[in-house]
Amino acid sequence: MDVTEVTKESWLLSTFPEWGTYLNEEIEMEQVKEKSVSIWWLGCTGIWLKTHEGTNILCDLWCGTGKRTHGNGQMKKGHQMMRMSGTEKMQPNLRTQPFVIDPFKIKDVDALVVTHIHSDHLDIHTAAAVHQNCPKAKFIGPKAVVETWLSWGIPKEKTDVVKPGDVVRVNEVEIVALEAFDRTALITHDDPDVRLKEQFPQDMDTIAVNYLFKTSGGSIYHAGDSHYSNLFAKHGNEHQIDVCLGAYGENPRGITDKMTASDLLRMAESLRAQVVIPVHYDIWSNFMADPSEITQLWRMKKDRLAYQFSPYIWQVGGKYTYPDNKQDLAFNFDRGFHDVFTQENDTPFPSFL
């Protein structure tokens, strides 16, 4: 190829997704140990869960983008942030993470599970890839999520509508649907001309749920985009929860859309979890936050409040295995070069090194 053959299309195909199939291959090759469970962070709140028995579950994988142009500088009429605050200027939510997985190389997925209706969780590209590549996969979500899948052409027989209290089995994994606490979802409406003020709120149970994935290696609680709620303590009373994931971020002035560091710690304490992992802070430029704040705040409080959990600061594309990583506080990618000087090196002279 020479420069006359390079086009925008050839550039896109050779560059995106930025990780190619590296992570797809890693997940496929991973042999999860007995009495453990592995999860990979795919960006935003997306995770891939793999069990010792070989069950693969995707949750909230999103393969879209944020803003790509300034447009007219105005927020889309009826947007949830507009309803929340009355703002009219466009929010600068630019995607800040690469695509670490190739959705169209996905295989062996047993279920696609989605927490709620927002488009950075409910994604047509993910749905298409799972439907095309994994014909036996279940599509599990609340009523409005399933209705969206059906409108995209997912066959009804492949879907399961869940509401809080429902349990769906995917092979040996029990997926428990629990109440969600996503107040932003409650002010989301497809029709920009509908006025929500002075109306009864929507039924949260039809648009959003939290999930508990009960596996032979531990239980993973996924809070979707829930805000902090006292009812986390109810979930902690009713279920054994090993690892909990929550949507963390630095809320702009006048906006409450993500949990703060103190919210994440309260969530973990209420759920009686062993580990709390912040997610979502990675993806939007206008909600970017430093997760080390969570660790520092935990260190300040853990002895006085007798915390029985610890935080874990992840990186997108990284693997977390419970209970192997239970005592770790942060993830780091493999630094490689494990076989240095196991063969003769090739430099002009030793002092070159």
What is the percentage of the chain residues whose pLDDT exceeds 90?
98
Residue 247 forms beta bridges with which residues? 279
185-189, 239-243, 347-351: least confidently modelled range: 347-351
Whole-number Å distance between alpha carbons of 342 and 216: 39
Whole-number Å distance between alpha carbons of 60 and 68: 22
Q: Place 144 in a pLDDT band, splitting at 50, 70 and 90.
A: very high
**Cβ proximity of 307 and 277 under 8 Å:** no
Rg of the Cα trace of the chain?
Answer: 21
- What are the pLDDT digits (tens) for 255-268? 999 999 999 999 99
pLDDT, residue 121, reads 98
**Cβ proximity of 37 and 322 under 8 Å:** yes
DSSP label at residue 105: G
Q: Which of 102, 110, 100 is nearest to 138 (CA)?
A: 110
Instruction: Specify the length of the chain in residues.
Output: 353
Q: Exposed e or buried b for every residue in 84-115, given b needs 16+ CB within 10 A?
A: beebeebbebebbbebbbbbeebeebbbbbbb
Whole-number Å distance between alpha carbons of 64 and 95: 9
Helix then strand then coil, in percent of the chain rounded to 5, is 25, 20, 50
Q: What is the pTM of this model?
A: 0.97
Considering the chain, what is the average pLDDT of its residues? 97
Question: Per-residue DSSP letters for 200-240?
Answer: PPP-HHHHBEEEEEEETTEEEEE-TT----TTHHHHHHHS-
- Residue 323 to residues 62, 140, 172, 220, 267, Cα–Cα distance (Å): 27, 26, 18, 11, 20
> Sign of dihedral through CA atoms 42, 261, 181, 117?
negative
Per the listing, tokens 């052409």 go with 153
- Residue 309 to residues 50, 177, 218, 264, 269, Cα–Cα distance (Å): 23, 23, 15, 11, 7
Non-local (6+) Cβ contacts of 147 within 8 A are none
Q: Place 1 in a pLDDT band, splitting at 50, 70 and 90.
A: confident
> Residue 120: is its pLDDT beyond 90?
yes
> Residue 352: is its pLDDT beyond 90?
no
- What are the pLDDT digits (tens) for 210-250? 999 999 999 999 999 999 999 999 999 999 999 999 999 99
pLDDT, residue 170, reads 98
Non-local (6+) Cβ contacts of 177 within 8 A are 142, 162, 163, 164, 165, 166, 167, 168, 209, 210, 211
Give helix 261-271 / helix 292-301 axis angle, nearest 10°: 60
Over residues 9-15, mean pLDDT = 95
